[in-house]
Amino acid sequence: MERTKSAALFSSARNLIPGGVNSPVRACGSVGGEPIFIEKGDGARIFDADGNAYIDYVLSWGPLILGHRPTPVIDALKKVLDSGTSFGAPTARENELAQLVVDSVASVDMIRMVNSGTEATMSAIRLARGVTGRDLIVKFDGCYHGHADTLLVAAGSGVATLNIPGSPGVPADVIRNTLSLPYNDIEGFERLMAEKGKEIACVIVEPVAGNMGMVAPDPLFLKAVRRETATHGTLLIFDEVMTGFRVGGRACAQGYFDIDPDLTCFGKVIGGGLPVGAYGGKREIMAQIAPGGSIYQAGTLSGNPLAMAAGVATLKELENDQLYADMNRRADMLINGLQAAADDAGIPFSAGHFGSMAGFFFTGKKVRNFNDAKTCDLDRFAKFYRGMLAKGIYFAPSQFEACFISAAHTDEDIEITLDAARQVMAEI
């Protein structure tokens, strides 16, 4: 597979953009490769600058649940282009997207739009601290909640991929108030709450972890987190930036696990491929955000008409339950097929999925937390990644990321992928 144009573009990008990329994992350093530069997407496929086609399981890291360039989203965007791209004043489309989320997610009475998942979590944390008058926050090792200072502690995603503990530039004073515990450790969490619960403003958790690879929650862990936070007057924030409208369908992961968080963060799918984040929750909490309340949060481009239109068009398409059923079935096909390919090749492998969010690790052990994830065979993952890429299959370039299926993936796409996987597994 020729990639000379991608190589030339990366070489000039490195002079212009730090590391040649605008987000670290894209550099593909941990898998010993260079990024492919994308020219266009269509359905389940992306095409690089050299004209190579790939079946895409990254989907812009999750947002593109309908695949690339879905007609309803493109048509909605074209309409907006004829009326103006930003006003910094309210538009009806903001109400429309808010209504779609409020109607779907039981715990959300009100919602505030922002521009990224990072902004959503950062703002939800400020709100929780403002409402409770407490400073301490709790997160879980390997969960990634964006790149805000307070949350960059034992984080997953790119931080895990680059194997850095946090980041220079984050003052020790700022993270003094962030406690990070192992994911799925019920006893450890109960102990901390018994000791410090009354000082803790909020607990933020990915209800299905997707940033240390995909790690399933023990449902009892999520129940314990809800119970203990409620007991201590601590707010529970579900970070559904990745799982929102993907895991558990429109009811989101909180619907799937039957948990009622105080606040929820969204991003990715609700922006339909445009830059959107949002945080929402109980009316009495959300009402404390400015201008109704005194907890400040704002944004020049928040509620942007293009982003709202893409989100509305996407969520309306997702009102069709069949889409979720088909994605779930195809994720099942993919994960079972990958497991069988690894088993046949005698490679220790463990894989799973929740709806169209999936993940796999090169280890025979069940991965329950970040420490488990870190023991898997990164070298073998890198070989698998490179082998699959050479066969036109685009997975995330890191063991510590999830993969995604869209409504545009077909049974045939999955079969092509599994055919490639059988060959690659035999070689690595």
Q: Which residues are catalytic?
A: 144, 239, 268
Q: Binding to ligand PLP by residue 311, rule CB under 6 A?
A: no
Whether residue 143 contacts residue 239, with contact meaning beta carbons closer than 8 Å, is answered with yes
Residue (372 or 401) nearer to ligand PLP, CB: 401
Q: Out of 56, 185, 206, 228, name the contact with ligand PLP by CB under 6 A.
A: 206
Q: Out of 98, 108, 241, 263, name the contact with ligand PLP by CB under 6 A.
A: 241
Q: Out of 222, 242, 376, 414, name the contact with ligand PLP by CB under 6 A.
A: 242
User: Contacts with ligand PLP in 154-183 (CB under 6 A)?
Assistant: 157
Residue (337 or 352) nearer to ligand PLP, CB: 352
Whether residue 242 contacts residue 206, with contact meaning beta carbons closer than 8 Å, is answered with yes
- CA 392 – CA 52 distance, rounded (Å): 8
Q: Out of 121, 150, 180, 254, name the contact with ligand PLP by CB under 6 A.
A: 121
Residue closest to ligand PLP when measured from CB atoms: 117
DSSP state of 110: E
- CA 33 – CA 364 distance, rounded (Å): 26
Q: Out of 117, 280, 281, 397, name the contact with ligand PLP by CB under 6 A.
A: 117
Q: Which residues contact 229 (CB under 8 A, 6 or more apart)?
A: 193, 202, 203, 235, 236, 262
Residue (261 or 277) nearer to ligand PLP, CB: 277
What track of x and - describes contact with ligand PLP for positions 252 through 291 (by CB under 6 A)?
A: ---------------x---------x--------------
| The one segment of 115-123, 161-169, 339-347, 387-395 that binds ligand PLP by CB under 6 A | 115-123
Q: Which two tokens stand for residue 263?
A: 């606040």
- CA 47 – CA 304 distance, rounded (Å): 28
Residue (54 or 61) nearer to ligand PLP, CB: 61
DSSP letters spanning 36-97:
PPEEEEEBTEEEETTS-EEEESSGGGTT-TT-BS-HHHHHHHHHHHTT-S--SS--HHHHHH
| The one segment of 95-103, 216-224, 235-243, 316-324 that binds ligand PLP by CB under 6 A | 235-243
- CA 317 – CA 323 distance, rounded (Å): 9
- CA 381 – CA 405 distance, rounded (Å): 20
Task: Give just the sign of the alpha carbon dihedral 417, 423, 424, 426.
Answer: positive
Q: Binding to ligand PLP by residue 41, rule CB under 6 A?
A: no
Provide the binding-site residues for ligand PLP, judged by CB under 6 A. Answer: 61, 116-118, 121, 144-146, 157, 206, 210-211, 239, 241-242, 267, 277
